[in-house]
Every structure is written in C-alpha cells, then in structure tokens.
C-alpha cells in the first residue's frame, strides 16, 4: 500500500506583483522555476497570492495561465482579478 502524498502549496505573491514589470530578479526567477516545477511534476498543488482583500487560491489551470502571463504569452488579467493583483503604485 502506497502512502498518498500531500499536495504542495506555493506562495506566488512576489511573482504576481513583479510580473509585467522590469526583468525578473533572481528571487523571482527561482519562484517562477518552483511554479513551473510544480506544474511539470503532475503532483497536486495549490498556488496562493495575497491581495488587498485576502488570499487567492489558484489550482493548476490558473497557475499555468499565470505562468504564461509571466512569460509574456498572455496579456495581464483585466477586470476585478487584474485590480486585485495589480501592483500598488506610489
């Protein structure tokens, strides 16, 4: 009998806030690699992002779409989702 593996959890808040800005820093590239690794592993996981209204939980499909946005394959989210994860400007 094999033991079931617990799902992975990944906080992608920093990567979400930095996406679409200047080139990613080393920390951002590592977080991106972790996200890509979670997607490639086929293992159950959830990505989390902190917003002004609380935490957003994203499953693999949403995380894959986000990764496409980070990589420039998709435009940034619009509407309410875009407003929730938009980077604060000063």
In this predicted structure, the answer to whether residue 49 has a pLDDT above a threshold of 80 is yes
Counting every residue written for the chain, the total comes to: 90
Per-residue pLDDT tens over the stretch 2-19: 567 888 899 999 988 887
Ordered DSSP codes for 27-47: HHHHHHHHHHHHHHH---EEE
Per-residue pLDDT tens over the stretch 55-81: 989 888 888 888 888 888 877 766 666
> What percent of the chain is predicted at pLDDT more than 90?
26
The answer to whether the beta carbons of residues 46 and 59 sit under 8 Å apart is yes
């Amino acid at each position: 009998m094999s033991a079931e593996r617990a799902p992975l959890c990944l906080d992608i808040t920093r990567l979400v806030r930095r996406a679409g800005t200047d080139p990613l820093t080393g920390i951002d590239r590592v977080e991106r690699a972790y996200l890509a690794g979670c997607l490639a592993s086929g293992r159950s996981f959830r990505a989390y992002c902190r917003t002004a209204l609380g935490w957003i939980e994203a499953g693999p499909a949403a995380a894959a779409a986000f990764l496409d946005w980070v990589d420039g394959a998709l435009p940034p989210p619009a509407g309410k989702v875009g407003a929730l994860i938009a980077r604060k400007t000063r």
